[in-house]
């Protein structure tokens, strides 16, 4: 079945450091890919998405490119801030599917 694997955390960075959180997926067909962010005590909210191969999703300085050849959707940010501290989830949803499949989440801590 469909699945998402993302790097284990926690990831601890200093402010202004470069961030990469790896995500790979297994899916039949052509899924849409998402990154969600969860701030402490809150529900998940969409950070960015890409719906087809080679698309780049971006938001709030974060970017991720849909790489079909490597089945990957890695999240990057050039300069993290303390306010980026959160848990980040990679997810996929297949065409015509009702279910969104989530990775295990990666907790990010950013130190001032």
Partner 1 sequence: NAGVTQTPKFQVLKTGQSMTLQCAQDMNHNSMYWYRQDPGMGLRLIYYSASEGTTDKGEVPNGYNVSRLNKREFSLRLESAAPSQTSVYFCASPGQQSGDTEAFFGQGTRLTVV
Which is nearest to 102 in space by CA: 112, 92, 111, 110? 92
**Residue from 75, 80, 105, 108 in contact with partner 1 (CB under 8 A):** 105
Interface with partner 1, residue 96, by CB under 8 A: yes
Provide the minimum distance between the beta carbon of 105 and partner 1 in the complex, in angstroms, as a whole number: 5
**Size of residue set near partner 1 by CB under 8 A:** 25
Q: Measure the CA–CA gap between 46 and 75, rounded to whole angstroms.
A: 13
The rounded distance, in Å, linking the Cα atoms of 62 and 79 is: 9
Minimum CB separation of residue 14 from partner 1 in Å reads 25
Contacts of 38 by beta carbon, 8 Å cutoff, 6+ apart: 44, 45, 86, 87, 88, 89, 105
Q: What is the closest distance, in whole angstroms, from the C-beta atom of residue 52 to partner 1 in the complex?
A: 9
Considering only 22, 63, 71, 102, the residue that binds partner 1 (CB under 8 A) is 102
Torsion angles phi and psi, residue 67, rounded to 5: -110, 100
How many whole angstroms separate alpha carbon 34 and alpha carbon 49? 4
- Scan residues 36-65 and list those touching partner 1 (CB under 8 A): 36, 41-46, 49, 51
Q: Rule CB under 8 A: which residues touch partner 1?
A: 31-32, 34, 36, 41-46, 49, 51, 89, 93-100, 102-105
């Amino acid at each position: 079945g469909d699945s998402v694997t993302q790097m284990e955390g926690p990831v601890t960075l200093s402010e202004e450091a470069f961030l990469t959180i790896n995500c790979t997926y297994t899916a039949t067909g052509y899924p849409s890919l998402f990154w969600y962010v969860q701030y402490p005590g809150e529900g998940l909210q969409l950070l960015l998405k890409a719906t087809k191969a080679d698309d780049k999703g971006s938001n709030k300085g974060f970017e991720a490119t849909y790489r079909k050849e490597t089945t990957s959707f890695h999240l990057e940010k050039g300069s993290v801030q303390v306010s980026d501290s959160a848990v980040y989830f990679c997810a996929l949803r297949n065409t015509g599917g009702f279910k969104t499949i989530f990775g295990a989440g990666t907790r990010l801590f950013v130190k001032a």
